[in-house]
Amino acid sequence: MDLDRAKPVWPQVLEELRRRLTAGVYRPGDRFPSVNDLAAELDVAPSTIQKAFVALREEGKLRTVLGQGSFVAE
pLDDT score at 33: 95
With a CB cutoff of 8 Å and minimum separation 6, the contacts of 21 are 56, 61, 72
Looking at the structure, give the CATH architecture of the domain made up of residues 9-72.
Orthogonal Bundle (1.10)
DSSP secondary structure, the chain, as one string = ----TTS-HHHHHHHHHHHHHHHTSS-TTPBPPPHHHHHHHHT--HHHHHHHHHHHHHTTSEEEETTTEEEE--
Q: List 31's β-bridge partners, or say none.
A: 71
Q: What are the sequence ranges of the domains in the chain? A: 9-72
Average pLDDT of the chain, as a whole number? 94
pLDDT of 2-35, one tens digit each? 888 889 899 999 999 999 999 999 999 999 999 9
At residue 72 the predicted structure's pLDDT band, cuts being 50, 70 and 90, is: very high
Q: What is the pTM of this model?
A: 0.90
